[in-house]
Structure 1
Amino acid sequence: MSESSSEKTIEIIGARVHNLQNVSVTIPLHQWTALAGVSGSGKSSLAFDTLHAESQRRYFETLSTSARNLLDQLERPDVDRIDNLPATIAIGLRNQPRFGNTTLSQTAELDELIIRLLIDSGELQCPQCRLGVRPQYLADVLQQISQFSEGIRFQVCIPVRVQAKKVDQLEAAIQEEKTFWENEGFHRFLDFSGTTSKSKKTASFLVIVDRLKSEKTENSRTAESVEQALNIGQGRCLILAEEVVAGIQYRIPISDERDREWQGYFFSSEPECPQCGTIYPELEPQLFRPTSPIGACAECSGRGIQVTNKSTHLCEGCEGSGLREVARLARFLPADSTSNSPLTYAEIQNFTLQELNENLNRIGSLSSSISQSLRTVLQKRIALLLELGLGSLQLNRLIRTLSQGEFQRVVLMSALNNDFVNTLYLFDEPTNGLHPADRLPVVKFLRQLVEHGNTVLTIEHHSDILAKADSVIELGPAAGKEGGTITYQGTVEPYLQQIKKEFQEKEDSNNSDFSNDQPDLLQLTDIHCHNLKGMDVQFPLKRLTAVTGVCGSGKSTLICETLYPALSLQIADRGEQKEAVTFENDPFRPAGKVASITGADSIDECVLMNETQLTKSSRSTPATYLKVFDDIRKLFAETVDAQARGYTPSRFSFNSSRGGRCSHCEGLGFIEMDMQFLANLTLPCPECHGSRFQPETLKVSYRNRNIHDVLSMTADEAFAFFRNHQSILRKLQLLRDVGLGYLTLGQSTATLSRGESQRLKLASYLNATSGLHQLFLFDEPASGLHPRDIETLLQSLKRLVEQGHTVIVIEHDSRIIQAADWVIDLGIDMETGESSAVYSGSPSGFRDCTESLTAQYLDHV
């Protein structure tokens, strides 16, 4: 390659990370290149573990010597050379949170901007009096005085409150207080009319500092008098004026000793209510944090929910926000006298993104340069979210209730919200979980990155997205050790023709329709949850049903938040012991309201096939989850070496403190380093070097492989290695049946994608012989799969149906949709934002549904 051409490409020579087989490849700069290939073929190893890891390492080398001393253990990727590598930004797939109360506004980093705007140009509001509460200083008082008409008389006063221990001591206490002020040089006082409390133990009076007339020009005497009043009155003063001044929200009518009417205007450098005198916390970020004692709701301690012995419900005190009332009522000051009523923080959180965009002129001061700067940033972020099709989502929508596609776009926005150039962007399936109609804005943004002088490398499987790339690189031909080589590199069109030809016959053979016998139906009526308003729906039992629709149409709402909890409760109510249903250990999952459920009598169990149970502990692995590791440990304990040392199966457990695990990392094989200024680094354990076990344990081998070697095997490799042990083979075959043969046995389940987690959970049910009728609910199980892997998944889903179970999948992939027995397609009314079923029937009639956007994209694979 010539020098001029090599400078236009990233050149990778001899990459051997993970299963990469000494890969050498060039990636064009300032273009969009797509990485394709089956799961486990080495795509992430090339993009993230080679290119991004090397870019990180080079960046760390630019740091100071003291900083680099912390990074001695940061290993160089196993590659001979990488030339012309730009700085990288890596956006990998993030598992969607299934716990907690994190909102869309917080995840999209809108909340922090709104709070900063509120601090700059807002005020608190007294919950009892509904009056604005904000500290006011000398400049604020003088600004209000400047609004008086010329020649108006006014008095600068200090309010004094007197409290006696007994009622008959009050007059004496007042006289004693006035004597004190007389000694300080103040001889004019004015009693409040009607300020004595019911207990007759407190009273108030005013110390008059100065009497003045308002002038057009600034009067130095006025400033000196007000400053004196604030200093002596500990930040509090009262201005008595002869006229009512517009724009001051609260005034106190006061009559003097000659019965002349004055208007009293109260000012305080504390956030003090001018009517009831309550002092509130400062307007600061901590006030809007449910986890802060300053901002947390007292009734629920900031959790947003209240848990009793029988139920879990939203906290009535904070309406689920976790914030105290004074924080929720904090409001923006109106831009001018003609503006609409001030917006409170709670009102803004109830806005959709579209409504927030329409009301941006009501947020922040028009004259403050700080507000203008913050609003510009806020407007840019909102515009990105709107372009990604998320305008109908409320700011306070919990992240765990979003669909996978919605969550993926929120994460994607953070990567697109910058103006970098000459940067290599690495995306792991940026359109993962998106309906074909929702992928176009993402394609537009990726193309814009290239147009701005950047290089884009995406891991992608969808043919409609691959068609938009400039070139494609495929790794394969299979997963694990059978992958890791370049099987195709070039333009996109020939590659797509090759894929289409390979899978056309398989798609035709998978196309399904109802058999002649009519199945029983599971029916739900009058569903209400999020944008589902009064929907009725029915699912055929002991069949495969695909629930489709554009992102945000209510698929996850219908299946995960309505059908699953409602049916689980109904099944639980049948038992003699009506125990609480925890919903996969997440009692805070909101459940939709259903008027009735019929046809569920034959269903014994409802199983939500998500990743919740898999990601509790980083110690969980495919081998431990499927319990195949128990068999492997027993096999090692039966070896001659183990018996000679007196080792039991627990010796080979990395989860047992009494076993032979490494004591430094406690069997994890890695340690986390707190970088403080960067994300935490995960580094191999310096004692066991990632093996998890003590050296003595590793001396025991079976067929020349120790326990660490076995955990490093993929399921496919282990299947061949344990060929004479049926109990082990049977469980490993489950992984292969769901297309997870490429997973290593010791890989943490916390690192699995959402689709991988669902398929691992599916594997545990495939060979079950309980005799129960189970309803399995999947949320996009084909997410992130190559067409070859989808074929394997599809056979597993059909296997469940053949065993007499009911399977319902939320899915965008056309292969699964056309192979289903029944299709329910949801659509959104753009005017009302409500969702409804636009189609419910067999796949054969789905193509002809003109109202369905999904039907128009059935040929997009």
Structure 2
Amino acid sequence: MKTISVRGAQEHNLKNIDVDIPKNSLVVFTGVSGSGKSSLVFDTVYVEAFRRFADSSQASYYVMGSSQFAKMSRPRFRSILGLPPALGLSQRQGVAGKISTVGTISGISDLFRVYFAAFGEFFCRKCDIPLKALSFNEVSKKIIEEFNSKKIMFIAPIAEKRKGLFKHEIEKFRELGFSKLRINGEIFDLQDESIKINIDAKKLNTIDIIIDFLLISNDKKQRIDRAIFQALDYGKGILKVEYANKIFIFNTKSSCPQCGESSPKIDPRYFSHSSIGQCEKCEGEGSEQSGLPADLFPCKLCNGTRLNPLRPIVRVCGKTYEEIHSLTMNYLYEFIDSDLKNYSFNDKSKEKVFSEVFRSINSIKKVGLNHLILNRSGASLSPGDLQRLRLSSMISNKLSGVMYAVDEPCQGLTTNEVKKIIQIFKEIIKDGASIIAVEHHPSFLFECEILFLMGPGAGVHGGQIVAKTTDPEHLKDLLAKQQLQKVVPKIELPPSMPVRIPKQVKKNLKVKKSDISLEMSPKKQESALIIFSDICLRNLKTKNISIKQGVITVLRGESGSGKSTFLDICLLPALYSMGGRNLETDSLNLPKFEKFCKVNKVGDIFINIIGYVKPGSMTRSSRRSVASALDVIVPLRELFAKLPASQVMGLTESHFSWNSKLGRCDKCEGRGYIELPQRYAQPVRVECEICLGAKLNSRSLLPRFKGVNLADIMNLTLDQALEIFENHKHIASKVARACQFGLGYVQLGQGMESLSGGELQRLNLTIELKRATLDGAWFILTHPSTGLHGPDIDILGELMRVMTERGATFILVENRDEFTKFADNIIEFKI
């Protein structure tokens, strides 16, 4: 079939959709946030593609078992025909781990570890000269000379920090007649049958066989040689000698001709900062303080490399593993395309690894990440860079006949960078693949081959395909009409919003405390600004930057121009040093910005609360719902506990909590679903057959408020909840704020993992807003356009504009042109 034919799609808010998606084309689904794009592309088409692959392959029986697979629920649709194998890249993959790097995320570090361990040239870490092979006679002579008249232990290393039970190895040496076995420093008698040797297979274990223990002298040369021979044989060329609780290694394959020091047996794990090669001081983070960039604040022991400095020096083409990981992608590409290419020539083993490295680096260059280094922390990447890095890993292997489902590949990109992504997608399509993308960037929409516009609204007001077009001019008309139809509502902040007036402002107000309201906030002072000068930071070319108070400032520029670096290293620490605080975090790990810039204040700068909001910064947990994020769970439980029915039944607040044994469903333990574990994939979730997703037990579901129980309320949208609780100001005020951000269609009980990036962004801002006074409130948003369509941006922009008029300050890291009309100040970052 030439199309993927979907009939009767009803997942989430989809309204029985019928759609034919062309294959071997660049197909884009767009529309307002919550209109059903991800529900169709990811939760229906992509999920069903994975389910069918697992179902049709024998792997499914090993992955989760046939009985479990029979319970695996499929998405809600009538039929899907012509569905190819699929690879997905969703925003919901979350943020990178604290010790993840560009190299580990892309998989390039794994390839280099193999290459260095197998083909690298070893050097002495003391003398920095090449190690050479050591003969048996040389080992024997050195031991007799160095340990003459000393009692030493000959040891054969069997396992060096490896997982496993090692039952076969233990039984083998017992049968050979050896009596002493050492496991993680503890010696066991192999011939004593009453002793049970238990090894924790999940831990890294070091196992040695003690060959002999004797006093060294020339008249015992025959016994010494026999012990050396056995140790080298069982230790695969490596012998350990222990004297006075010190270990001396003799490696017949690599020994220093000058000082005689031998290296341990090197495998790829010695180059891993998450394994035995990890620097013990920084635990693989590379920085002097947890959470700070390794290249700007390097750990003194490892110098930011993340690796143990006591490892042997290994070089390939004159460069160490650490040096390669400090090169930008441009320089690394040149090194690989010349030196490493020549070094691997005519060697099939080397060429196999080399081709994988070259293909991966080339993919990273194509997606425009030339400024990155392999050692760069994954947690320091902007959401757009992280998305593109994962995209490069996905496309490095050119696969034909597959479908790529991609979520917002253009987030955070400039128009020129978007064009590069489009060109890459077109090359992939030429190779026989299909691409279905969820995207909002206008430049991307006008270049796609087929576009589906979803809507017309969000949540219950969406879930339909409004239009389909292949004509860019028709697309312009559609988007223009949608902008006109989507009237931006008048933004009025809830009157119940807490306002704390600064002391210096209170002195100038001759009014009673009860008369203070939002309208009395002082006018924004555009003349007040913070000047950052003499900036010396990575590749940042802009040396002087001024940030104005009380306005909307947009930081623009291509990836690698220094926007996020300036934000994290200079701006944020400076704001906190001026009295700002983040109520979400008790303690902050802030760098010393004085090392990288000078800061001066002009005018009356006041900073009270700092709201730093970025996509993915909120935990996407299924146990955490929108209601809990908005802090309305506790008021709801209090309300239900006070109902007459609850009083009669003796139900307390705990009986209305799915985290309490008193209230939760015993079958699913308050989750609402049962997880079916899989060996090689994420667990599959099936709705609980007892509570049917309600999470609570039957007693807790009996009390009702206005005819509905607590589970019914959690299924309400925020708009519906606002109507029900209009007389409960404590609940209504919190829900109203989220509705102001256009989230009225989201359900109260919706799990955080089901929200799109744009929804998370706005919910994050709502949470920050509920705590902050607008006077002295500084909000910093990175890529606020994530997941937002044109009308959504208008709603967010109008709200920010109203808030700045009331005293707030906004700083946006954003490249979408739609934000320009809301910006009072634009700062361009250039490469």
Shorter-chain TM-score: what band? 0.7 to 0.9
Q: State the alpha-carbon separation in 2 of the partners of residues 801 and 818 from structure 1.
A: 14
Q: Which amino acid aligns with 1:304?
A: G
Alignment of 1:209-358 (within 5 A): 268-269=251-252, 271-292=254-275, 294-306=276-288, 314-327=298-311, 329-332=313-316, 334=317, 342-358=318-334
Q: State the alpha-carbon separation in 2 of the partners of residues 378 and 348 from structure 1.
A: 12
Deviation at 1:440, TM superposition (A): 1.1
Task: Say which is worse superposed, 517-526 or 611-620, in terms of deviation.
Answer: 611-620
**Does residue 1:436 correspond to 2:415, yes or no?**
yes
Q: Which amino acid aligns with 1:739?
A: G
**In the superposition, relative to structure 1, how do residues 795 and 453 fare at CA in structure 2: closer, same or farther (>3 Å)?**
same
TM-score, length-scaled by structure 1: 0.75
DSSP-derived class of the 1:487 partner: strand
| 1:790 alignment partner in structure 2 | 793
Q: Give the one of 535, 546, 549 matched to 1:538.
A: 546
Contact 1:33 1:471 in 2 (8 A): yes
| 2:8 alignment partner in structure 1 | 14
Q: State the alpha-carbon separation in 1 of the partners of residues 772 and 234 from structure 2.
A: 84
TM-score, length-scaled by structure 2: 0.78
Q: Which amino acid aligns with 2:830?
A: G
**In the superposition, relative to structure 1, how do residues 782 and 614 fare at CA in structure 2: closer, same or farther (>3 Å)?**
same
Contact 1:507 1:815 in 2 (8 A): no
**In the superposition, relative to structure 1, how do residues 597 and 329 fare at CA in structure 2: closer, same or farther (>3 Å)?**
farther
Deviations 1:260-291 (A, max 9, x none): xxxxxx99425443433334332212212233
| 2:639 alignment partner in structure 1 | 635
Alignment of 1:750-769 (within 5 A): 750-766=753-769
Deviations 1:11-31 (A, max 9, x none): 211111111111112112222
Q: State the alpha-carbon separation in 2 of the partners of residues 38 and 185 from structure 1.
A: 79
Deviation at 1:619, TM superposition (A): 3.0
Deviation at 1:117, TM superposition (A): 0.9
Deviation at 1:686, TM superposition (A): 5.2
| 2:359 alignment partner in structure 1 | 380
| 1:48 alignment partner in structure 2 | 42
| 2:339 alignment partner in structure 1 | 362
**Does residue 1:486 correspond to 2:462, yes or no?**
no
Matched residues, percent identical?
29
Q: State the alpha-carbon separation in 1 of the partners of residues 583 and 773 from structure 2.
A: 21
Contact 2:293 2:377 in 1 (8 A): no
Contact 2:14 2:36 in 1 (8 A): yes
Deviation at 1:473, TM superposition (A): 1.5
Q: State the alpha-carbon separation in 2 of the partners of residues 232 and 18 from structure 1.
A: 61
**Does residue 1:800 correspond to 2:829, yes or no?**
no
5+ unaligned residues in a row in structure 2: which ranges? Answer: 151-213, 240-248, 491-522
DSSP-derived class of the 1:330 partner: strand
Q: State the alpha-carbon separation in 2 of the partners of residues 272 and 717 from structure 1.
A: 75
Deviation at 1:158, TM superposition (A): 5.0
Alignment of 1:80-99 (within 5 A): 80-94=78-92, 97=95
Deviation at 1:534, TM superposition (A): 7.1
Q: Which amino acid aligns with 1:701?
A: R
**In the superposition, relative to structure 1, how do residues 99 and 400 fare at CA in structure 2: closer, same or farther (>3 Å)?**
same
* Superposition CA RMSD, Å: 3.9
| 1:162 alignment partner in structure 2 | 145
Deviations 1:677-719 (A, max 9, x none): 2334344445534322222222333333322222222222323
| 2:189 alignment partner in structure 1 | none
Q: State the alpha-carbon separation in 2 of the partners of residues 451 and 590 from structure 1.
A: 50
Q: Which amino acid aligns with 1:280?
A: S
Q: State the alpha-carbon separation in 2 of the partners of residues 805 and 94 from structure 1.
A: 30
Deviations 1:710-752 (A, max 9, x none): 2222222323443443433322221121122232222333554
DSSP-derived class of the 2:91 partner: coil
| 1:122 alignment partner in structure 2 | 120
Q: State the alpha-carbon separation in 1 of the partners of residues 289 and 372 from structure 2.
A: 27
Q: Which amino acid aligns with 1:635?
A: L
Alignment of 1:616-695 (within 5 A): 618-655=622-659, 657-685=660-688, 687-695=690-698
DSSP-derived class of the 1:705 partner: coil
Paired residue total: 713
5+ unaligned residues in a row in structure 1: which ranges? Answer: 1-6, 142-154, 168-173, 187-206, 208-226, 238-265, 335-341, 829-861
Q: Which amino acid aligns with 1:454?
A: A
Q: Give the one of 806, 809, 812 matched to 2:812.
A: 809
**In the superposition, relative to structure 1, how do residues 273 and 821 fare at CA in structure 2: closer, same or farther (>3 Å)?**
same
| 1:75 alignment partner in structure 2 | 73
Q: State the alpha-carbon separation in 2 of the partners of residues 301 and 766 from structure 1.
A: 37
Q: State the alpha-carbon separation in 2 of the partners of residues 668 and 156 from structure 1.
A: 63
Contact 1:471 1:490 in 2 (8 A): yes
**In the superposition, relative to structure 1, how do residues 160 and 810 fare at CA in structure 2: closer, same or farther (>3 Å)?**
closer
Q: State the alpha-carbon separation in 2 of the partners of residues 44 and 602 from structure 1.
A: 41
Q: State the alpha-carbon separation in 1 of the partners of residues 456 and 231 from structure 2.
A: 83
Deviation at 1:34, TM superposition (A): 1.4
Deviations 1:397-429 (A, max 9, x none): 111222222222101112212222222221111
**In the superposition, relative to structure 1, how do residues 583 and 401 fare at CA in structure 2: closer, same or farther (>3 Å)?**
farther
Q: State the alpha-carbon separation in 2 of the partners of residues 630 and 526 from structure 1.
A: 50
Q: Which amino acid aligns with 1:348?
A: I
Task: Say which is worse superposed, 176-185 or 621-630, in terms of deviation.
Answer: 176-185
Q: State the alpha-carbon separation in 1 of the partners of residues 751 and 591 from structure 2.
A: 25
Q: Give the one of 462, 465, 469 matched to 2:448.
A: 469
| 2:161 alignment partner in structure 1 | none
Task: Say which is worse superposed, 646-655 or 440-449, in terms of deviation.
Answer: 646-655
Q: Which amino acid aligns with 2:566?
A: L
Q: State the alpha-carbon separation in 2 of the partners of residues 28 and 724 from structure 1.
A: 51
**Does residue 1:827 correspond to 2:805, yes or no?**
no
| 2:101 alignment partner in structure 1 | 103
Deviation at 1:123, TM superposition (A): 3.5
Deviation at 1:772, TM superposition (A): 4.0
Contact 1:438 1:550 in 2 (8 A): yes
Q: Give the one of 488, 497, 522 matched to 2:477.
A: 497
Contact 1:14 1:24 in 2 (8 A): yes
Deviations 1:147-177 (A, max 9, x none): xxxxxxxx9995443356879xxxxxx9984
Q: State the alpha-carbon separation in 1 of the partners of residues 592 and 258 from structure 2.
A: 40
DSSP-derived class of the 1:359 partner: helix
**In the superposition, relative to structure 1, how do residues 567 and 506 fare at CA in structure 2: closer, same or farther (>3 Å)?**
same
Q: State the alpha-carbon separation in 2 of the partners of residues 445 and 114 from structure 1.
A: 25
DSSP-derived class of the 1:18 partner: coil
Q: Give the one of 717, 722, 728 matched to 2:720.
A: 717
Q: State the alpha-carbon separation in 2 of the partners of residues 445 and 185 from structure 1.
A: 63
**Does residue 1:529 correspond to 2:508, yes or no?**
no
**Does residue 1:30 correspond to 2:27, yes or no?**
no
**Does residue 1:408 correspond to 2:387, yes or no?**
yes
Q: Which has the higher contact order (CA 8 A, sep 6+)?
A: 2
Q: State the alpha-carbon separation in 2 of the partners of residues 71 and 756 from structure 1.
A: 32
Contact 1:546 1:808 in 2 (8 A): yes
**Does residue 1:447 correspond to 2:431, yes or no?**
no
**Does residue 1:178 correspond to 2:218, yes or no?**
yes
Contact 2:134 2:255 in 1 (8 A): no
| 1:222 alignment partner in structure 2 | none
Contact 2:251 2:264 in 1 (8 A): no
